[in-house]
Amino acid sequence: MSKQFAEVQQDDFMKFGGERPSYLEIEDALMALGGHGVNGNNFKNEMVKLAGWTGGALTTYAQRAAVAQGAFNKIREALSKAKTADELRALLAAS
């Protein structure tokens, strides 16, 4: 993907209002790459887990901000190199 995302910071997961945090932009990109809808959401969840997210369905990113920051920044780097969903999956699996 050609879009560059700002580096994700831990406090991004606790912000309300103002500028949209880059992790939300990354989630949008993952969902688009995965096919939107249910497929896009499943793809996003798979990529976040491959990148190191350890939380369950009821765990917010804010509860484990350091882990979420690491996972999203890993995805951020991989998205700059991947052109397809399979390329992204392979990059994250190899890291």
Q: What is the pLDDT of residues 28-82, one digit of tens each?
A: 999 999 998 999 999 999 999 999 999 988 999 999 999 999 999 999 999 999 9
pTM of the model: 0.91
15: confidence class by pLDDT, cuts 50, 70, 90: confident
Q: Which of 6, 25, 8, 86 is nearest to 50 (CA)?
A: 86
- What was the pLDDT predicted at 56? 85
Q: What is the pLDDT of residue 7?
A: 95
Calculate mean pLDDT across residues 1-13. Answer: 85
- Which residues are CB-contacts of 41 (< 8 A; sequence separation ≥ 6)? 31, 34
Interacting residues of 38 by C-beta distance below 8 A, sequence separation 6+: none
* CB neighbour list of residue 71: distance below 8 Å, 6 or more residues apart: 48, 51, 52, 53
